[in-house]
Each structure stands twice: as C-alpha cells, then as structure tokens.
Amino acid sequence: MIRSLRLINKNILLSNRKTFTTTSTNNKSNQTQFIIKDDNTVELSEELKASIKLEEQKKIVKEVMEKPQSSKFLKGDVLLEGVKSDGSSLRWYKTAGMCRTEPENPDQGYYPLIDERKIRTPSNHVIITPSKEIAYAVAAEWRAQEKYIKPSRLPITQTIISCLDVRPEGRFKIIGEFINHLATDPICNREKNDSKLKKLQSELYEPILQFANEYYGIPFSISTHLSISKHPKELLDKIERHLHSMNNWELVCLQLISQSSKSFLVALSLYYGKLRLDNLYQTIALEEEYQSETWGRIPFGHDLAECETHNEIAPPLFMLRNMNPIPLPK
C-alpha cells in the first residue's frame, strides 16, 4: 500500500512527511511547501509564509537544511511512499502519460510519467512496465484522479508496486504459500455424499481440473468433504520449478489472483482463458450460492462480494495478459 507522496523536481520539493510538518501556535498542522534553489538555499512558498509566523518559517528552513536524507532524493523523479489511505491527499500534478525507455528499442519497456517525470516505488525502484498497454493503464489511473488521490482508484499502480518491491525472500515465501495451499484448493475437493452440490461441483470444477491435469501432465488428487488433497510429490516439485521459472511480475500477479479466487488452479484457468471472468464468482462461491438457495440471500451482499472479487482480480489479470506469456512447466 502506498503511504506518502514526495516529489523532487529540479528545484522543487513537496512533502507530506511528518518530519517536514510544523505546528503553528494554534496547534493546527500546516503542509510544508518549500523551494530548494540551485545554491542549496531554501525558500518557503508564499502560501506557507502567509499561514505561519516568521519564527516558524526560520525553524522550517533550518530543519530542511539539516536533513541529511534529502541528499539521497533523485531530482526529476516522483517518489511514491504512499498516498494516504483515507483519500485525503490532494492531486498536486497536472498531467500523466507514458514514454518508451529506449525509443529505438521498445521491447525494453515503458515509463509511466507524472508531469513528464518517472515514478519510483516506495523501495525506490523506477516503474518500467513490460508493455505500453500497462503503461497507458497507469497513466489513465492517475489522470482519472480528481481533487483528491484515491488509492482504491489506483489498482494497476499498486499491483505494479507489489511486483517491483518484492524481495528475494518474498519470492520463496510466495512459492511456499502456493505449494501449501494446493492441499486445500477447492477445485480438488468434492462433497462426500451424492447430492446436488456434488453434481454442481463436478459440472463447474471438472473442466478446470482436467485442464490442470493436462497442463502439468500429472493428475491432481481429489479429496472429499473436510479432508485435504494429497498430491503426488512429483507434481508438487514440478509446480515449484514452474513457479521459480516465473519473473516477479508473473509470480505476484498470479498470487494476487489466487488469493482472491482462493485457488491456484482457478488462477491458471483464468489466465489461459479456460474460465471466463463473468463466470468466476459462480465457480469460486459455489457452496455459498448453493446454501443461499436453501437459507436465502443477504440483500445486495452477494452482489457486492462478486463486484469486490472482480475488482481484485481484474488488475493483475489485465497485467498478465499484456505481458509475455508465462513460461510453460518443465
């Protein structure tokens, strides 16, 4: 999640950080805005000068000049340490767009731009997208912001940050979670007794399971009721190798889809078009939908849950389908 927002642009630095916020005599916080000139002197903005006393102005200037961490900031880049989660961050920029990283070699990627400046993640990684479609989507998100920046309306940007800022140990954790959750993947579980629910499971789950069996060349095990699926070790090893062969973009996007759908096999089927997005919720919430026929539906509850699931899955799925194909298992 993005937490704060700083812009260092040539001679201008805007900050919402606590270290650059002062408190006036009436105990109201003021957003610090100041200009760092070429000679490294600091000048406060006219808005700030008009809102606080001279003594506080001098205090801010001294504080800025003595901050050693300001020297590590990269001029010309927008550094995202997060937009406030409550949506109270003001839109400070005018334009959003994209450009190629190397005009002569578009395969190297694309920069999304804010006010013609590159964007950096909270871990200081420059955002370079693998396709122009993803870069355009990022730009569209930022252009769509109105007076305030709403994190909920930046799903592609936040997904990219998750992809770029994952650490090596984070990769091992993600892969470990994939392998562990296969034992409880709902696609590999069936009702024990012959019932209408079991027939619905066979109807909706079987095409996904059949695709997964053909994809990895080793059948997945089926469990019943509350038992867990004991998949062959050969299959688990092959899936683990497959996951290790993916880059961070592919791995994280697949993880986000699996978390929302609660199934690795559903995530694969969505990516390869074996399961349509408009049929997704009917599949992953099959038991809930079945129970609602008996006990009734919560007004608007299921509809909201379906919308939320689609909103969570659509961004990483869009990104996966606009990158190079995921490597095949070996």
On the CB side of 203, CA atoms within 13 Å amount to 10
Question: Which one is predicted more confidently, 124 or 266?
Answer: 266
Contact 272, 305 (CB under 8 A): no
Mean pLDDT of 17-33: 35
pLDDT at 15 over 60: no
CATH T-level assignment (fold) for domain 77-164: ATP12-like (3.30.2180)
- Domain ranges for the chain, please list them: 17-67, 77-164, 166-322
Banded model confidence at residue 28, pLDDT cuts 50, 70, 90: very low
pLDDT at 17 over 50: no
pLDDT of 278 reads 86
Over the stretch 266-291, which tens digit does the pLDDT of each residue have? 999 999 999 998 889 989 988 887 77
Banded model confidence at residue 48, pLDDT cuts 50, 70, 90: low
What 3-state class would DSSP assign to 90?
strand
Question: Which one is predicted more confidently, 100 or 14?
Answer: 100
H-helix segments, the chain = 46-51, 54-66, 132-144, 155-164, 168-181, 196-216, 233-244, 248-261, 264-271, 280-284, 286-295, 301-320
Over the stretch 218-234, which tens digit does the pLDDT of each residue have? 999 999 878 899 999 99
The encoded tokens of residue 76 equal 């010309």
Banded model confidence at residue 156, pLDDT cuts 50, 70, 90: very high
Q: Give the whole-angstrom CA distance, residue 60 versus residue 57.
A: 5
CATH T-level assignment (fold) for domain 166-322: ATP12-like fold (1.10.3580)
What lies within 8 Å, CB to CB, of 83 at 6+ separation is 2, 3, 4, 5, 89, 149, 150, 151, 154
Angle, CA 142 vertex, CA 278 and CA 71 arms, to 5°: 135
pLDDT of 66 reads 53
Burial class from Cβ neighbours inside 10 Å (0-12, 13-18, 19+) for residue 80 reads buried
Provide the mean pLDDT of the chain: 80
